[in-house]
Chains A and B, each alone.
Chain A
Amino acid sequence: MFTPVPNPTTNPVPPKFGEQDLIRRSASTVTPPAKRLTEVAKLIDVSKCIGCKACQVACLQWNNLTEEVGVNVGVYDNPHDLTENTWTLMRFTEYENTETGNLEWLIRKDGCMHCADPGCLKACPAPGAIVQYSNGIVDFVHDKCIGCGYCIKGCPFNIPRLSKADSKAYKCTLCVDRLAVGQGPACQKACPTQAIVFGTKDEMKQWADHRIKDLKSRGFANAGLYDPPGVGGTHVMYVLQHADRPEIYAGLPNNPTISPIVEAWKGVTKYVGLAAIGAFAVIGFLHHTIAGPNRVTEEDEKNAERLTEGRS
């Protein structure tokens, strides 16, 4: 058993990190702090999940969210997708393993992966609406969010959702408010099987190794850790029985990266575009300076008068 995050003291404690620990801030440049926090991570062991949805409930409760009563369409996923209120969602897949002939029930807890290279933050046009702390948390700052939905386009995992109530984007915060006072995320706290564990990123990788060895000994030859390098690694990681095929887990992307379209839009386009506008303005100014104004002459007026003479 992984030693869980101990219960906190009931006395108030000062926050362990804050504004001074930001390593990225949307649409702004920050001076990276000299002292880096230890990177944290949440490890979700899909092989241990029993699909009880305690994590979903804990998330709603801790974040004071209420999900609408939905409609049963014959699947276990409830609600059917992530929403502005459901920041984490159990996605159920019935997978027929052709090698063993077994039916495997793959239950993946979906939610923000807290990428080291966050696409949402890259796409965000509002200064400070998305921030990244040096411990790896990517958080949305709602009083700065303008509700444009660019984060949705930037995200390689299709996570953020726009609220119909206040037109702002919402997603898992990794319980930034709990972590700041030394607690673990609410979902991890509620998990009855330790399918969700929380600690430093190194600890989680070690624990994952131990779990993967166990799974391999049980015949899951391709068991492995999902910590995709295309986004610089993530601070929410999965232990998968079939790490060679993450897509069978309700479409978990295989080797996700920030879309090249988003990179082009937020990278080269921005500079080339502003340069082009500037160049056109400068060319106009230079042309006027060199060629001088194109004026109508006295003779032009005379010619027009001659042309219209006798016609009135």
Chain B
Amino acid sequence: MSSSEVDSGDNVHPGKPVIVDRYTVGARLNHWVTAISLVLLALSGLALYSPSLYFLTALFGGGALTRVIHPWIGVVLFFSFLGLFFRFFRLNLWKKNDSVWLGRLREVLAGDESKLPEVGKYNAGQKVVFWSMSILILILIVTGLISWDEYFARYFSIEQRRMAVLVHSGAAIVAICVWIVHVYAGIWVRGTISAMTRGQVTGGWAWRHHRKWLKDLVTTKR
């Protein structure tokens, strides 16, 4: 089972078309909480990041409330993402074929998947998103706590807090860029969004993009 690409909760329903269960209700809710938190954090964070985006504080009831709410959403995101991390990390471990896949990025971007190795539940791109988000969110929560002056100012020197805000804003920018890649991939690869909303994809989608996952699923489920 450990080498299998199948997660608990994954299932395949034969028919026309074949329907494949990809994400459980728990995983979907967990992802929604994370997704909404991340969007709110990006908006409130960008508002305080650049004067040209300060108008975004209006979405949160003004500057002071934006300042109050941003770190708390961060705490929600951290624990929510921690849930996603433990749900998904096993199948996101790097495999030899992932390097081959990533080395043929040109074919990936052209949508020419016949020239790529068969992919398990997650392809190398998704794994890069997963691990970069894991590292970035860890950096963001640590630097965020250090610069949360309301509660933690006394534990850190001003120099440490200066460094923390700089690293925090840098990491946030990278995280937003990774998020753009993540969302774009979901839009570009048609048939993906239903995995997030309903937890299901079609058999054709699984065959085209995650063939090894589908094959493992068919062999392990009865």
Query: Is B162 a contact of A308 with CB atoms below 8 Å?
Result: no
Flag if B109 contacts A287 (CB, 8 Å).
Answer: yes
Quick one: given A276-B173, A296-B205, A308-B12, are A146 and B190 in contact (CB under 8 Å)?
Answer: no
**Contact flag A148-B109 (CB < 8 Å), given A294-B188, A304-B202, A308-B218:** no
Q: Which of A167, A273, A274, A297 contacts B64 (CB 8 A)?
A: A167
Chain A residue contacts of B222, Cβ below 8 A: 311
- Do residues A288 and B149 form an inter-chain contact, with CB atoms below 8 A? no
Q: How far does the Cβ of B3 sit from chain A's closest Cβ, in whole Å? A: 20
Which residue on A lies nearest to B203, using beta carbons? A304
Main secondary structure, interface of B, reads helix
Q: Mark B3-21, 1 if CB is under 8 A from A, else 0.
A: 0000000001011111000
Stretch from A66-74, A100-108, A149-157, A194-202 forming part of the interface with B = A149-157
Q: Is the CB of B110 within 8 A of A265?
A: no
B190-222 interface bits toward A, Cβ cutoff 8 Å, 1 = contact, 0 = none: 110000000000111111100000110010011
Query: Which residue of B is nearest A146, CB measured?
Result: B63
Map CB proximity to B onto A235-275 as digits: 1 under 8 Å, 0 otherwise: 00000000000000000000000010110110001101110
Among listed A84-92, A131-139, A223-231, A277-285, interface-contacting one: A277-285
User: Does B165 reach chain A (CB closer than 8 Å)?
Assistant: yes
**Chain B residues within 8 Å of A259, by CB:** 159, 162
Grouping DSSP codes into helix (H, G, I), strand (E, B) and loop, the A interface class, with mixed when no group exceeds half, is helix
Complex Cα distance A302/B203, Å? Answer: 9
Q: Are B51 and A146 in contact (CB under 8 A)?
A: no
Once A280-B180, A291-B109, A301-B18 are accepted as A-B contacts, the answer to whether A152 and B63 lie under 8 Å apart by CB is: no
Is B39 positioned at the interface, with any CB of A under 8 Å from its CB? no
Q: Is A295's CB within 8 Å of the partner chain B?
A: yes
Are A303 and B165 in contact (CB-based, < 8 A)? no
The answer to whether residues A303 and B162 also contact, given A146-B67, A294-B190, A308-B218 and a CB cut-off of 8 A, is: no
Q: Which of B50, B64, B166 contacts A146 (CB 8 A)?
A: B64
How many residues on A have C-beta within 8 angstroms of the other chain's C-beta atoms? 53
The reply to whether B203 and A126 contact each other, CB–CB distance below 8 Å, is: no
Contacting A at CB under 8 A, from B158-184, are 158-159, 161-163, 165-166, 169-170, 173-174, 176-177, 180-181, 184
The CA of A151 and the CA of B178, in the complex, are separated in Å by: 30
**B137, chain A: closest CB distance, angstroms:** 18
Taking a contact as CB atoms under 8 Å apart, the answer to whether B18 and A308 are in contact is: yes
**Is B91 among interface residues, defined by CB-CB distance under 8 A?**
no
Determine if A175 is an interface residue (Cβ-Cβ < 8 Å).
no
B206 pairs with A304, CB closer than 8 A: yes
> Do B49 and A270 touch across chains, with their CB atoms under 8 A apart?
yes
How far, in angstroms, from A27 to B47 measured CA to CA in the complex?
11
Residue of A with least CB distance to B20: A304
17 contacts between A and B (CB under 8 A): A125-B63, A144-B63, A147-B67, A147-B150, A149-B153, A261-B159, A261-B166, A273-B50, A276-B174, A280-B180, A284-B188, A287-B109, A287-B188, A293-B189, A311-B218, A311-B221, A311-B222
Top 9 closest pairs, chain A to chain B, by CB: A304-B203, A149-B149, A301-B204, A300-B204, A146-B63, A27-B51, A273-B173, A284-B184, A308-B14
Query: Interface of A with B (CB < 8 Å)?
Result: 27-28, 125-127, 144-150, 152-153, 158, 162, 167, 259, 261-262, 264-265, 269-270, 272-274, 276-277, 280-281, 284, 287-288, 291-298, 300-305, 307-309, 311-312
